[in-house]
Structure 1
Amino acid sequence: MSKIVKRANFKSTTRTVNLLGRDNVLDYRSAILELVKNSYDAFSKRVDINIKGDTIVVENKSGDKITTTEDKKATELEVIDYGNGMSLEKILDVFFTLGTDDKTNIVSVKHSNTERVMNGSMGIGRLSLGRLGSESQIITSNGKTAHSFVINWDNFKSGKPLETVKIDIEELTLEEFVLEYKKRNLKNNEKKGTILISRQLNDEWFLSDKNLAGTNYSLLKLTLNKLKNPLKLTESDDFQIVLNYFDEQELIEPSISEVSTDALIEFSFSHESDLLIFDGYFDEINISQLPPDFVNSKFEKLKNHIQDDNGENRKRYYFSDSYKISEFIPDKVPENPIGGFDGMLYFTKKTGTTKYPFINNPVFKTNEFEIEPGILLYRDGFRIRPYGEIDTIGFDWIGIENERAKNPAGAARAGYIMQANQLSGYINITKEANGGFEDQANREGLKNSEEFTFLRKIILQIIKNFSFVRSEIFILYNDFLKEQTDVNNHSEAGKKLKKKIDRLIAKHQGSREELFSDIEFINLLTPQSLLELYSLSDVSIEEKDNLINESDMLRTMATQGIVMSTFAHQIKNDRNFFEGIPNTLITMGDYYSKEFSYDFRSFIEDYNLYDYASIVTDKNSSILGFIDSSVNNPTRDKKKKLI
């Protein structure tokens, strides 16, 4: 009978803090976003991000000549809010406790007639301070008491017990707390909030970076601009972000610019009704320029796109549809529902075409600024990085290019899919409706759960449907042109014409001079013959495409067959081993019965080797029989000689 000799518990070393903090957070942008979200969760109506520093002299060398210029380099980065702040009790029980769950099981919180959905859930967001700089100072007040303390993150490099690192907490008067805001030309009449100061910065910030692309400043501003989705933040719950870069202040305020796109699709999924609906427009298609003969010929296919339910002509090329999610995605639905979501995608083409008279030029040429590609993911109005972010692994998080690689067809071909860099937009989820989507520990995206994978499949299918609407009109128009010129019949004539040309080439043994001077060849060169050869070429290309698609399918089937056959042959080669298992079990039972002077046949069924040997015999019979039938190649019956 076993007995408990000791009760154990996990212990933590100082390294844990940095493992969860600065070593876990991807970059300064993620760290700042975490701290900004914490300010939002604290019901602050505004957050100030101050980056400030000292003047430095920069040497510029050009050949033998050295010149100097002045610049400014950051020494401090501050995140300042006007939220609820922290009492001493909360500092001890929440701030200095790793992995707190005070937000995990709470969807939203009400405070002073305002309700906000909590963004935090892991209980480690404050550790992002360690990513920004080696030293942090926290100044906080809940309106009644104020405190200040300094954390040196380098003290957490050793493997000493976590409790050995002591941090002194100082008490401040409310006047001293308010003075900290006044020093920064800020007002805090309610005398509550939090000031987070990072020093000994891990990243370089220069004033000269402000007008350059790709710098820490420009990337931070771009990230902050996309942090909030303006369509999901109400006016009554305003939350401002102010960036003060070396005393140059600007309000970071997301807005929907009047930007034209070539097409858009808006969609919404309701979990309660299991219904996905979407509609949209293709403004690259100019309805007024559709050839009348084309419209008459393909009216049944074009009707819903160019006319409304009352039969009135539309001004924009429209489409809409709705599906039960089980019809839209044939895959098994996750046990935990993904919940409702909505979104909007924009299509912006990079090049134009003159092949189709009804296609407008790309709209990006008329916009004042370039539309940045990327499909962003928002939860309760706040962006989740890195989804849709250019030059990151999260840009094509839906897997559009992987799908296109299977069939990189052009817009006028079946199976066409828009490119990832042609799509932009956003998808909205909520903490309440989409509880199955959990954050990764480093707050860089969501866990790759079954629910999140299913969401990606739905979005990819929406993009396929979006692409089909665009492709369909090109295919219809090409079919119309072929019907008008009777391409199929002309292609048959083209085959005969090609045979004549082949005969003449053989006659002159490939000599172009003799061929071109041959009267019979000259007489073949007519407008009619050119159309016949074109028709032959066009039909041949279509037949080739069909053969390629069929070949791809057969290749895939063959690959799967080879794998299965190899696996089955391996098992077949091990037939003696599998067939010998029952006898081995019986031999073992006999040996143990003799060794321990106990009849092992008397054990209950679950632990009886002899009963298990009988079960294995039955299983071997069915499994090996199936494998035999799978791997044995079919043979043709030998012909019998008639006597």
Structure 2
Amino acid sequence: MYKKNFTVDARTIIHLGRESIKDHTTALIELVKNSYDADASVVEVEIYQKETLNKIRIADNGIGMTECDIDNSWLRIGFSEKKLNKLSAKGRRKTGEKGIGRLSADRLGETLYIGSISNNCDSGKVERNGIKVNWELFNQDGIDLDEIPIEVDEDPQIILPASSNTITGTELIIKNIRNDWTVENIKSLCEELSILNSPFSETQDFKIFLKNDIAPQFNGEIFPPESVLPEIELELEYDGVSFNVKYAIKDRFSDFIPQKYDTTWQELSHKVIDPFEYVYSNEKLSCGPIKIKLLFYPRTKSLADGTNFTLSELKEFVDKNAGVKIYRDNISVKPYGYSNSIVGSDWLGLAERHTRNPAGVKRASYRLIPNQLVGAVFVSRDDNSLITDSAAREGLVENEAFCDLRALTLAAVSLLENHRYKLYQQPNENANKQKSSFSETATTFKREVEIAKENIDSIKEHITKSEDKLDTEQLANKNTPEIVRTALESLAKFVEETEDVSDSFNDMLQHTRVLAGLATVGISSAIYGHETQGDITQFKATAIVAKEYLEFDEPNIEVAKEELENSIIYADRVLAWGRFALSRVSRDKREKYEVSIKELITGLLKDLSELFKPIGIVVKYEKLEDVKATVYPMDIESILLNLLTNARTACLQISKNRIINIGLSKLKKKDRDGFLLSVSNSGPKINPELKEWIWEPLNTTKKDSTGRQTGTGLGLSIIKSIVADLKGDAEVDDDLDLGGALFKIWIPIK
């Protein structure tokens, strides 16, 4: 048996070079990254395409390349010594490991000249090496790669950066440029080079100088973004090993004194609001250790107060730096957070989040606008090995680790949003004035209409009596009563129409009550539907078995009877749920009258008991006082059913001791007699940062094992709406006995 070998076509270089790299800006940045890896402190980038000059020059003061480096590393495609020596002498983590970054030069121009000065480690002598690569020679069919000659320059003329004191370095000269560089290209290049090295790094030892003849206004040293104090700053850290996450928030209103918190990813994952619903881990994150820094700028005049900047200057700063970028070993990864990238600039979907919920900062569902945020996510090749480059040299592979990284960043954004929401909940003169509910407003409106009607009738009667006292001559000379009479007729007509509006209000309230009840039943059906579906399946299975036993040559009546009896049990369960669902919105429950709250609770629990037993949840309700209140029964049942549905979901997150505890007691509050309904569970606690957020519509903490949202986010908002209509209070706390959440609902008796 003999062996065969692969051969490599010369055109492979073209595929890996110019055809694999997105644009000429990306290609040039790849070559600048090589200077960073070579421990350069200064890099000169020159682009000329006018008059007789048509070249790109990149020169650095790095360690240079020996002849051995050129032969065994640079000219060996797919090999990267960076895999063997991951850290440079300065301790920098080298950025490229695929061994094809050097082919970026082919994307820029037809010919590449390399000149390098280095110290030979063996002899201690200074080496000068040079080669010339004509990329067009590789654009031939049927030619093996090793047949293409690379010219050697035995006396290379090398010009290193003028501002450098070192004697080593590398100079690249690319001629016959493939693309025309525009002013917009140069501007984009400047912006990308300015953030190539993280602006959040404590040390800045990598300077880049630009010179070009396309847009000379951008010539000179390229500086990282100047720091401007934000309104809010958040730093989050995940160690990559445990379930714990630490974060600190500080703001200009508290002199930037940090507030530090410890939490777990299980709790924090509930804050992930992702419009694109990427699947991520709901338990331990697979992305490895992560650091996140977010700066919030409100783009308002207040941000400029106390600074030397004008508002327009601050807006320009934010416009230039907006976006959350990913930095790997302190080098930015395109296209994440790059405003000039069509794909990936808003990789977190912040614009879509805001579009779907454009609530203001005084709402708990507040979402920030993307151009208000400047941020960075820090990873490394060694510690985050599962976060890998895509084949196109731009972007990362969107695998499980990337999705977990994205989810953690979105959770950090939500923490910042929640902090800002709390900042703006400052007390004011109307803070203690509770906003009227819709039902109360409708009642007040109807009462005012009735008063207006009585007043008009009184005025009419007064005018009639006055006219009776006037003689004919006085009436003839009296114009005012006619004007008043016309005005009164108009007012009377207005009041009559307003009464119709009042009736419409009442109808709307009844419709709203029915819709809330139906929504509650719908939510419950989605939650309890699994058990009901199981009963339907069992009913069908037992009926089939009974039929088969009856069709035997010698029918087994006893076994068939047992199976049919089981079928009846399952059918009764399905029927019970159907009756339960329909009875929630029956007409008598939509009328307001005095009812026993205790009987409402026990009746509801009796109907639901069969749905809790199969999943091992014990519902306790021994502490129920006998309370009578004038209410709509549908309202109370909607509140309790939604709370029970939430408690059930929480209990299913633990494997044992699943307990739900219901309490009812009389409680006087605000000089009004009322009752307190409480529902607690033994599931996980609710993150303190979420205790106001969960009451807003469409906000939910319910997620499946993949992290995908399963709840509707309507249950607690329905409760909040009903309680507001009843002039009650709703709050959530930690239950000290069961260890989970404790929901407390106070409602006045009348």
For this structure pair, what is the TM-score category when the shorter chain's length is used for normalisation?
0.5 to 0.7
Residue 490 of structure 2: aligned partner: 517
Does residue 71 of structure 2 align to residue 92 of structure 1? yes
TM-superposed CA distance for 1:457, in Å, is 0.2
Residue 192 of structure 1: aligned partner: 168
Residue 244 of structure 1: aligned partner: 211
Say if 1:145 and 1:172, in contact at 8 Å, map to a contact too.
no
Deviations 1:254-312 (A, max 9, x none): 2543x2433322222233554322232344x6xxxxxxxxxxxxxxxxxxxxxxxxxxx
Residue 421 of structure 1: aligned partner: 371
Say if 2:115 and 2:128, in contact at 8 Å, map to a contact too.
yes
SS in 2 for 1:217: helix
Residue 45 of structure 1: aligned partner: 41
Give the one of 13, 21, 24 matched to 1:25. 21
Give the one of 158, 163, 169 matched to 1:180. 158
Give the one of 182, 192, 196 matched to 1:223. 192
TM-superposed CA distance for 1:31, in Å, is 1.1
Q: 1:326 to 1:545 in 2, by over 3 A?
A: farther
Residue 404 of structure 2: aligned partner: 454
Residue 314 of structure 2: aligned partner: 367
The percent identity for this pair of structures is: 24
Q: Distance in 1 between matches of 2:247 and 2:493?
A: 60
Say if 1:136 and 1:199, in contact at 8 Å, map to a contact too.
yes
TM-superposed CA distance for 1:38, in Å, is 0.7
TM-superposed CA distance for 1:484, in Å, is 1.5
TM-score (ref. length: structure 2): 0.55
Does residue 150 of structure 2 align to residue 168 of structure 1? yes
Q: Distance in 2 between matches of 1:635 and 1:187?
A: 81
TM-superposed CA distance for 1:216, in Å, is 1.5
TM-superposed CA distance for 1:476, in Å, is 7.2
TM-superposed CA distance for 1:555, in Å, is 9.4
Give the one of 270, 283, 289 matched to 2:239. 270
Give the one of 224, 230, 235 matched to 1:254. 224
**Greater RCO structure (CA 8 Å; 6+ sep):** 1
Deviations 1:10-31 (A, max 9, x none): 4322221121111111112211
Say if 1:228 and 1:383, in contact at 8 Å, map to a contact too.
yes
For residue 490 of structure 2, what is the amino acid of its counterpart?
Answer: S
Give the one of 104, 113, 120 matched to 1:137. 113
For residue 151 of structure 1, what is the amino acid of its counterpart?
Answer: V
1:230-629 counterparts in 2 under 5 A? 230-232=199-201, 234=203, 238-246=205-213, 249-257=219-227, 259-271=228-240, 274-283=243-252, 314=254, 319-329=259-269, 332=281, 337-350=286-299, 364=311, 367=314, 369-372=316-319, 373-392=322-341, 393-474=343-424, 481=430, 483-484=432-433, 487-488=436-437, 490-491=440-441, 493-497=443-447, 517-518=490-491
Residue 61 of structure 2: aligned partner: 82
Deviations 1:85-143 (A, max 9, x none): 22233222211222114213543133xxx322111111111000011112211222324
Q: 1:369 to 1:421 in 2, by over 3 A?
A: closer
Say if 1:261 and 1:363, in contact at 8 Å, map to a contact too.
no
96-105 vs 14-23, greater mean Cα deviation: 96-105
Q: 1:412 to 1:93 in 2, by over 3 A?
A: same
Q: 1:397 to 1:546 in 2, by over 3 A?
A: farther
Can you give the 5+ residue segments of structure 1 that lack an aligned partner in the other structure?
56-72, 210-214, 286-313, 354-361, 508-512, 573-624, 638-643
Deviations 1:355-399 (A, max 9, x none): xxxxxxx99457384412211111222111111011421111122
Q: Distance in 1 between matches of 2:524 and 2:9?
A: 52
Say if 2:42 and 2:164, in contact at 8 Å, map to a contact too.
no
Say if 2:265 and 2:284, in contact at 8 Å, map to a contact too.
no
Residue 149 of structure 1: aligned partner: 131
TM-superposed CA distance for 1:429, in Å, is 1.8
SS in 2 for 1:232: coil
Q: Distance in 1 between matches of 2:175 and 2:78?
A: 25
Residue 66 of structure 1: aligned partner: none
TM-superposed CA distance for 1:515, in Å, is 8.1
Instruction: Report the number of matched residues.
Output: 481
CA-based RMSD of the aligned residues comes to 4.7
269-278 vs 33-42, greater mean Cα deviation: 269-278
Say if 1:408 and 1:416, in contact at 8 Å, map to a contact too.
yes
SS in 2 for 1:371: helix
Say if 1:260 and 1:363, in contact at 8 Å, map to a contact too.
no
Q: Distance in 2 between matches of 1:78 and 1:20?
A: 22
Can you give the 5+ residue segments of structure 2 that lack an aligned partner in the other structure?
120-125, 271-279, 303-308, 458-485, 541-566, 580-750
Q: Distance in 1 between matches of 2:515 and 2:417?
A: 23
Say if 1:74 and 1:204, in contact at 8 Å, map to a contact too.
no
Does residue 126 of structure 2 align to residue 126 of structure 1? no
Say if 2:210 and 2:222, in contact at 8 Å, map to a contact too.
yes
SS in 2 for 1:50: strand
Q: 1:497 to 1:366 in 2, by over 3 A?
A: farther
Q: 1:450 to 1:499 in 2, by over 3 A?
A: farther
Q: Distance in 2 between matches of 1:34 and 1:171?
A: 24
Say if 1:139 and 1:149, in contact at 8 Å, map to a contact too.
yes
Say if 2:196 and 2:331, in contact at 8 Å, map to a contact too.
yes
Q: Distance in 1 between matches of 2:491 and 2:389?
A: 77
Q: Distance in 2 between matches of 1:547 and 1:523?
A: 29
